[in-house]
Structure 1
Amino acid sequence: MQDAQQVTVNGRTVDFAALSWGPDDAPLALLLHGYPDSPHSWRGVAESLVEAGYRVVAPWTRGYAPSSVPTDGSFHIGALASDALELHGLLGGDARAVLIGHDWGAVAAHAVAGLDGQPFRRIVTMAVPPAAAFLDRADGMRAWLARLARQARLSWYVAFQQLPVVSERSLGALVPRLWSTWSPGHPAGAELEAAWEAIGDRRTEVLRYYRHAARWWTVPAQYRSAQRGLMRASTVPMLYLHGRQDGCVLRDWTGPTRDVLPPGSRVEVVSGAGHFLQVEQPDVVARLVVDFVVAG
């Protein structure tokens, strides 16, 4: 496969830089990265998608360099979901298009999935389950509370990153720590370097993903509808992937995820992988993704 091309896609409030693989006339696969990450982590998955007949586009999401800082200043979930919808149109996506998201990209994809009339045929999410899974109490209140308590201990960084100045100054040490604890045993190299390059001069912007999520009442009017999709059931079949050794989000949420996804969906746990499963086990993840999107 040829090396990725870096392209620019000019949106309403963001000029997106993106990596692109495959012919322009092929069906679109839009891949959204998470935190702390960049589109470079999709390379292994992109190759298999191109071989399966897709055009793959993986943008640096709003605020990550070299994409621009959004002119509306919003980093809310609704804005991220709206970006995915806008990119579908700007890239010439049609009814064959698929959406794939990891971490924050998964959060955006879950919000898109809940919207009536959204344009993606199938959606794949990784490492962050749908919001409804966190509310599912099918195995009892005690088990649910225990899961929440364990997850809260893993998610300490969310509260820390609400702190202005202090959290910005800490990122040089925190980003490598998160990679090492979220994907234990994985020797993060080029992907971590690419993530830091995208974050380095945009620390406040990247942290606003967490800060704006905690201030849901500040969602701009134009993004409220898209944000409401996060709490709705997926309108299309979804593949959810989770690393068995994930040190960020408990593997225990995969059971509740099975309970809340629509018919035709699948949930798979990837052995030998932590949170950055598409980097750690690219061949396994690519096979699962391609099998799911092609079968549909």
Structure 2
Amino acid sequence: MSDAITTGSVEAGGLEFGYLAAGPGDGPLALCLHGFPDSAHTWRHLLPELAGAGYRAVAPFMRGYAPTRVPEDGAFQTGALAADAVALHEALGGDGNAVIIGHDWGAFATYGAAAHSPGRWRKAVTLAVPPLGAMMNAFSSYEQLKRSFYIFLFQTPLAEAVLDRAFVEGLWRDWSPPGAEVAGDVDRVMECLATPANVAAAVGYYRAMLDPSRLLDRYAAEQRSASRTGERPVLYLHGAADGCLGADVVMSDPAAVLAQLPPGSRAEVVEGGGHFLQLDRPAEVNRLILDWLAA
């Protein structure tokens, strides 16, 4: 068994995905999905730990993030992300013992995929973004609206022009604990946003979020699943120092988060963790995830 991280590619759902992977080829699938502005490298601490526990851990680059192709259908809605996760499960030979782990936009994909196809997954883990039902009051907070300025900026024609390295690094610094080393991860992000088409794809996630005209009917079932409570238990983790979606808003009442998750779920705050808590506190986050999957 090797815990070395390797690269690969696979066609799933008609789209070619690049990915990072670790672990035995015959182990149960652990699909790890990243968010914005991030890359599959965000899982570099977790992949070897999952491999050591016997999983075939695979972290794809999400649709539109190089080396994954930009989808020809131009769909970046949550339902498309959930459909990608299901298609990757199929293409990678997953079975009912597979687990799914998602951060940020990857969390949205995880909720949708687990609810839409519960038979494919044994357990789920989400980080930094709670279920939609638990976010309903977030934008009534002035402080949260300030944190979320970029969502509204991305609805404008300025978005592609401003989404450069300086902007991405600014987000990482704002969203991370003071003193966090972010330059290397920003470099990885910019490799994924190497072309104007990649930049437009990253912005497209946010435009589909607020513009119903961008929702394609082919993903309608997955889109509905993304906003409902599924069957598979979820471990939800949120960084206490998250500068993107404040813990003061999301986790002020953990019971409200749990009420939106399936029975048997858990919700935890990770002290000292920012938005990218899997990088800020890797040992603690890895332990929480591995213990959850093993329980």
Q: Say whether the fold is shared (TM-score over 0.5).
A: yes
Counterpart check, 1:191 vs 2:185 = yes
Please give the alpha-carbon distance, in whole angstroms, between the structure 2 residues aligned to 1:118 and 1:213. 27
Find the counterpart in structure 1 of residue 273 from structure 2: 273
Please give the alpha-carbon distance, in whole angstroms, between the structure 1 residues aligned to 2:191 and 2:24. 28
Counterpart check, 1:288 vs 2:256 = no
> How much does 1:151 deviate?
2.1
| Amino acid corresponding to residue 192 of structure 1 in structure 2 | V
Q: Deviations over 1:111-143 (max 9, x none)?
A: 2233254511111000000001123xxxxxxxx
Contact 1:13 1:72 in 2 (8 A): no
Mapping 1:151-170, distance limit 5 Å: 151-164=144-157, 166-170=158-162
Mapping 1:142-221, distance limit 5 Å: 144=137, 148-164=141-157, 166-172=158-164, 173-185=166-178, 186-201=180-195, 202-221=198-217
Please give the alpha-carbon distance, in whole angstroms, between the structure 2 residues aligned to 1:237 and 1:222. 27
> How much does 1:158 deviate?
0.1
> How much does 1:2 deviate?
4.3
Please give the alpha-carbon distance, in whole angstroms, between the structure 2 residues aligned to 1:146 and 1:218. 22
Q: Deviations over 1:208-241 (max 9, x none)?
A: 0101111134321210100111221121100000
| Amino acid corresponding to residue 224 of structure 2 in structure 1 | R
> How much does 1:191 deviate?
1.8
> How much does 1:72 deviate?
1.4
> How much does 1:147 deviate?
5.2
| Amino acid corresponding to residue 19 of structure 2 in structure 1 | A
SS in 2 for 1:129: coil
Please give the alpha-carbon distance, in whole angstroms, between the structure 1 residues aligned to 2:81 and 2:73. 12
Which residues of structure 1 form unaligned runs of 5+? 136-143
Contact 1:116 1:235 in 2 (8 A): no
Contact 1:32 1:39 in 2 (8 A): yes
Please give the alpha-carbon distance, in whole angstroms, between the structure 2 residues aligned to 1:146 and 1:168. 24
State which of 233, 236, 250 in structure 1 corresponds to 2:232. Answer: 236
SS in 1 for 2:130: coil
Contact 2:38 2:185 in 1 (8 A): yes
SS in 2 for 1:10: strand
State which of 215, 221, 224 in structure 1 corresponds to 2:220. Answer: 224
Counterpart check, 1:245 vs 2:241 = yes
Give the count of matched residue pairs.
286
Find the counterpart in structure 1 of residue 75 from structure 2: 74
Find the counterpart in structure 2 of residue 138 from structure 1: none
Find the counterpart in structure 1 of residue 59 from structure 2: 58
Please give the alpha-carbon distance, in whole angstroms, between the structure 2 residues aligned to 1:2 and 1:112. 26
Identity percentage of aligned residues: 42
> How much does 1:36 deviate?
0.4
CA RMSD, Structure 1 to Structure 2 (Å): 1.6
Bigger shift: 43-52 or 116-125?
116-125
Which residues of structure 2 form unaligned runs of 5+? none
